[in-house]
Amino acid sequence: MGVLLLVLLLGLLIFHLGLCVWAIFKHFLTTDMPSALQHQVKMRVMHCIILYGISLANILEKMRICSLPRLFHFMQTIIFTKKKDPKVVVTDLLFGTIPVRLFQPKTMSCSPRRGIIFYHGGGGMLGGLDCYHNVCAFLARETDSVLLSVGYRKLPDYHYPVITRDCLNASIHFLKRLNSYGVDPSRVVVCGDSIGGGVVAQVTQALVGQKDLPQIRAQVIMYPVIQGINFQLPSMQQNKNVSFLTPDLLFMFICKYMAIDLSWQDAMLKGTFIPPEIWMKYRKWLSADNIPESFKNKYQEPQFPGPFNETVYLETKHLFDAGNEPILADDETIAQLPDLFLVSCGQDLLRDDALLYKKRLEDQGVPVSWCHVEDGFHGCMVLFDKQPFSFPCSLKILNAVVSYIKGL
């Protein structure tokens, strides 16, 4: 029995070592390290760990031992530990079935504080109240605000459009009860990163014209997911081999959340799922023509979209739902949106989503403040205190957000 156990342990060790070696080889064979990225050794180590985790998750999922999202959830609980901030009172609540976490500065205030509603990133699979706990505590403390973090439901149990619905419902619940939380109704900010940034855009659009609720003062969006139609923008070409968010990982998140078979990835990348009449209607907002020339270094404009394939369209047509594509909202809705503070990252696959949305709002007269972090990469903000994997760009983004919110 002891020999059998020893053989089993040795086999597991060899398996994991082989997986580590494979991840390292894949990283060095497929990954670019632009000179703008700081601390490249840390970045390489972090990316190898991510490749190892994805490979292990895929193997376990195919063996029906554990689904990929559930293994990711387990791994992030090890990496992202929450810290107690002595200057912030934290309260876990339920808004109906939606878990939320309230962050309130301990110091007394003679007047109502500003409020922040926060939606976390993670591609609909990762992230959570604990993962973003330290970020939210930092924002609440540094801006002297009452912050509500929304723990929306995620994969593998929940798919589109649950995230937007949960965030909208939790936000309405909070907005109706601002007085009980000591929040000034005229100073409420909606904030989020990555998919959470896209949800900020969706929720603020859904709240436009609702006279029975306090009006949102500003939307703060960091490296957002704004559209899922044009995957041939310059940043998709320039940053396709940059660490962390790769095209394969991006499409895995999109397809799993939107319940689309991953076999359609190539067709989506080439745009063959886009009907010609839809592209003609929305090209003015989605085309690479809207990206400033200074961001088109080495960009080779492809033939886009590719030849239309109706079968792919029928499998993916819910990508065109108006509620899922905030950039496609009508001009009247866009013109009524609150001020926007937008963060884009130079080394991000989705950099141009932010640039497209910036232009969309500016064209309708919405005040836009823009912070571009050239050495930033997708998801970097949440690493601001995660030694040894924190980066200067992480704190740079958080400090910019704090500065903007304090100025409102």
From 184, 348, 352, 375, active-site residue: 348
From 145, 171, 194, 243, active-site residue: 194
Segment holding 101, helix H or strand E = strand 98-105
Asked if residue 209 lies in contact with residue 186, where contact means CB atoms within 8 angstroms, the answer is no
CA distance 124 to 349: 17
| Backbone conformation region of residue 371, classed left if phi is above 0, alpha if psi is from -120 to 50, else beta | beta
**The residue type at 278:** I
- Between β-strands 339-345 and 368-373, what pairing exists: parallel, antiparallel or unpaired? parallel
CA distance 229 to 275: 11
Residue 266 — φ and ψ, nearest 5°?
-65, -40
CA distance 369 to 135: 21
Any catalytic annotation for residue 378?
Answer: yes
Q: Which two tokens stand for residue 354?
A: 């932010």
CA distance 175 to 215: 9
From 133, 184, 378, 394, active-site residue: 378
Any catalytic annotation for residue 47?
Answer: no
Q: How many other C-beta atoms are found inside a 10 Å radius of the C-beta of residue 362? A: 13
CA distance readout (Å), 332 to 25, 285, 325, 335: 51, 15, 16, 5
Instruction: Please identify every residue annotated as catalytic.
Output: 194, 348, 378
